[in-house]
Structure 1
Amino acid sequence: MNPIESNVVSTPLTTKFMSSFVLLTIIAGLGVGVARILISLYAVQLEATELQLGLIAAAQSAGILLMALPIGVMVQRLGSLKVFSLGSVMGAALYALTPLQESAWYLLALTALVSFVLPMRFVSINTVFLSNLKRLGPAKAGWFRGSHMMGFFLIAPALTVLLIQHFGYSSSFYCVALMFLATLFFAPFCFQQVPQTAANAPHFQWRDVVAPLALLKTHAALRMVCALEFLSSLANNYFGFFIVVIAIQSFSMAESAAVMLLTTQGLVFVGSLFTLGGWAELIGYPKFYWIGLSLMGSALLILAITPITFWMWPASLMLGLGLGMLHIANFMAFARVGEQTAMAKISPIVALVGPAGGLFGGFLGAALGASIGLQNLFFPIGLAFLALILLILRDQAFISFLKPDGSKHIAEGQES
């Protein structure tokens, strides 16, 4: 029996699967989203230095970067059910251990350890999502991705503040552990298990781990989408972790008001995922990319230069809208490559590229935050987005790939 995520299939999606997957992704996103904000606020509470803050932000992606490809092989061999369940249990245990020591370095260590098990959940979810993307179409596809981001960006900020106010930091980490375990209830309805005996199980080979990277050599369009995903994740991770610190330390905002910046961004981000998929098809993905990149670049430049608290709110709104547009376009492009190759190879690439951008964003804050200033670092990130607009305008091969019949360019060979 082949798991559903091994191929792109055409059978109708059942209501049981769809409802279970939406609920699972909401809870999964909620757990990770609460943990991200909780760790950021807890680090400030522990009076962590700029170096420690940057390292903690980077640590959230470090293990994901190293484990994404090996976990991709695990999903192919063991099935997404076993891999997702194991990651959920291990993540819950590590978050339960986090409040045992009140130290920024201890928080850094536990955050790094958690990052090594999160790919077990990310790769499993991404594989199932990408496998079903064609059946959903671009408009409804945003509903699935939006359900995950709803928990991560929209519900998590407000819930984190409520948890801290009512239970304190220690008990809030225990609540995160419970959220991780809660996903196990829905997992059997969403993921398939691969029955495999020890006798017929293929031996683990290193070439299986690095096989997805071979696609980056042969597909220029995939390299461009990876660059777009990398930079989007860099900006999102940097904003998501440091905007709370910047708002509190540089603008003297209250903790609840600072977190509301994340809520604003998350609300617009999730809303765009649910509503803009059809617009992407209507105006075409090249224009969709240009608008999204323009919004992202402009928002980041505003965040970099504004001395006034007010301008942080429209900038957060623009950032959420641009991020949502890029997210829709990137995943449709990833799915298009996956249809022509193998979804099991594309999903670990997705799980690898995003955290790589997040890791780099954390290192930016750690290395340059104290000397240049955390707020000032939004400026070069914003310029990078504007530069990508010019790069896409000049890349006719990528523009052709984005058109409805562009997937044929992969089969014909888009090497460069």
Structure 2
Amino acid sequence: MSVVNFMTHGELTLSRKPGHGMPGELFGRQDVFETDVDVFFQKHWILVGVTADVPEPGDVSAVDIGKASILIVRDDDANIRTYRNVCRHRGARLKDAGKSTVGMLVCPYHQWTYDLDGSLKHTTHMGVDFDRSCRSLIPVKTRIVGTHIFVCLSDEAPADIDVLEETMLPRFKPYDLTHTRIAHEAEIIENGNWKLVIENNRECYHCGATHPELTASFLPEDFGFCPQGLSEESQRALDAYHARNAASIASWEQDGLLCDTVERLDPGVVTGFRTQRLVIAGNGESQTMDTKVANKKLFGDLQRRDLGDVHMWTHNSWTHVMSDHAVISYIVPLAPDKTLVRTKWLVHEDAVEGADYDLKTLTEVWVATNMQDASLVSINYRGTQDPAYAPGPFSPFTEIYLELFSQWYAARLSAHGV
């Protein structure tokens, strides 16, 4: 009789050789997936939307995360509130995933009716002694950073969201991102595990061969390179890169802009993130094919176009903010082999399509990049499930952040007893 050598989730994680990829079972097993959702999407802070998702009082955005669902609501005082998408009667969903506009939140099952502040306002057939005051909608812990809506579904939300907030608010402030609107949004279901989606986003080893639109605006040295055995031409290019970076940073800092890189990615951190102001190639203005702004109406009261790319990573999102538009993506795991990627393109709230910007010019870089990444994640996932797969070594020059992510992932599982 054969004996199956079944390793637990924790044992699989610990079996990873340092400097190498994760075992394939960490990407493909259903029990691993369910634990990942519980730990990384229920107990950590995650990005679930932007303030422009609910621009007016009465606007609602319902977002599903695993078995959970939340409501993002703009109340009558224009404040953003978040609630569990669960009626306090018998648990019916108040709203299907997506956006809508309401006067009040009415349960479709028995018509229990809630104000936008979450209070239960109306019921029938509950008797004169029924106390509505203890049946308000359940609030969700929320932080708004710039335009980013972060939530934590745990009763014990990690306190170090304060560090992310304190770091990013002054970086986003010049752009006045709360006064923006969504010019375009898109969803892609990538056929791969959520960790592979994040790994793909954390390295640009693959970019030169697969992302011609994206690399038009990138300085490739920003994403790692092997410094060994450089030709004279490559050394001149590297020297030019350092000179351009130094000149751009000096110019930005003279205008009072924050440029230093902040990395909180090590295993001891709970709320991991990274931010950097990246120099844009070519004309240096925006992530477009010609590297010029796509939108003449700049964010806030900005006058200067060449402000680089304020880049932010978290464990479920990535953000690029330029002077004229922002691209914000976040992921929701759906299954071991399926991950939803939502992307939103933001512009100044007064920008007019056709007058201030052309939508194709604004979106074509990341529309193409997202489709290319979806294909890469799919082939990567299928390969990790092949019996022949054995985790290979990371590049020490271009895949540094994959090793850091792998270490952080293992540490967070361990902290939750996995």
With normalisation by structure 2, the TM-score equals: 0.25
With normalisation by structure 1, the TM-score equals: 0.25
Q: Relative contact order (C-alpha < 8 Å, sep 6+): which is higher?
A: 1
Structure holding more helix per residue? 1
